[in-house]
Amino acid sequence: MGVWRVVLFLLLFGLLVNVSFGETDVDEPKFDVDTDISDSVGSEDGENSAAIGNDVEITGVAIINGSVWIDGVKIHKPQSVYTSRKNGKIYRIRWGSNDNVSVAEE
């Protein structure tokens, strides 16, 4: 009878070990990222435009699509120095290619 107890113990122990340490398969969800980027910005025909409303009061420098406004005044190319009428500050404008513009306060 002692042999049967050992065999029964080993069978139950084997089942317990198999249940505790057995492999499990887990299905991980897959994520799909949409990389389709539209090249049209601003309007249906793909042209970009910049506009600042007439009722907007700008203080400081604004650069939008290569156009420069300083204190609400549009600065036209190739002007390289502008003195603000609002605060008397002097700004230096450097015009680059492809709508690249930098403005520094002197």
Tens digits of per-residue pLDDT, 12-36? 777 666 655 555 555 666 655 555 5
- The predicted pLDDT at position 88 comes to 93
Min mean pLDDT across 37-51, 55-69, 72-86 is at 37-51
46: left (phi over 0), alpha (psi -120 to 50) or beta: left
Across the strands, what pairs with 64? 67
Cα atoms in the Cβ-side hemisphere of radius 13 Å centred on 48 = 9
- Structure pTM? 0.48
